[in-house]
Amino acid sequence: MTDNITSVGGGSRPDTGVSPLKGRTGAGAPAETRGKTTIADSVVAKIAGTAAREVPGIHGLGAGMARAFGAVRERVPGGGGGGATRGVKVEVGERQAAVDLDVVVEYGASIVDVAGEVRTNVISAVERMTGLEVVEVNIAVDDVHLPDDEEEEAASDGGRVR
């Protein structure tokens, strides 16, 4: 009798023909394939967000209002938990994931090149760490960060009391 098992993305083990995410059960199966592994959307979002931020030319993630509210939330004690996933939306299935990113690119960087590097880095990180196949990475460039913006941010962060 032959088992018909579909392998998952790059995370399948060729020697067993079984996905590490959804393996076969029973005494004859290797221990690492017994049971099912589920990966939360928030985990994939953190991986994708971190991988996107690693790319040179990315100033930050999130659309204008999300960045503004995130900056305020990070200053409030106990309120800064969402920074890693700001500007990242994911859909995770049993074997596949799709990622949507809102990014801010540094002025002077080639948007096309930066977007390509972000896409490559996100796909590589998510597939390597989760075993899920990334079917698409959609990137929306919401803003360009100008060098003058840092001076304005520093002036507005000064406050009255130091």
- 87-128 pLDDT, tens digit each: 999 999 999 999 999 999 999 999 999 999 999 999 999 999
Q: What gap in Å lies between CA 131 and CA 109, rounded to an integer?
A: 31
- Interval 28-87: pLDDT, tens: 778 877 888 889 999 999 999 999 999 999 999 997 654 455 555 555 565 555 578 999
The whole-number pLDDT of residue 119 equals: 98
Residue 81: the pLDDT is: 53
Mean pLDDT estimate for the chain: 79
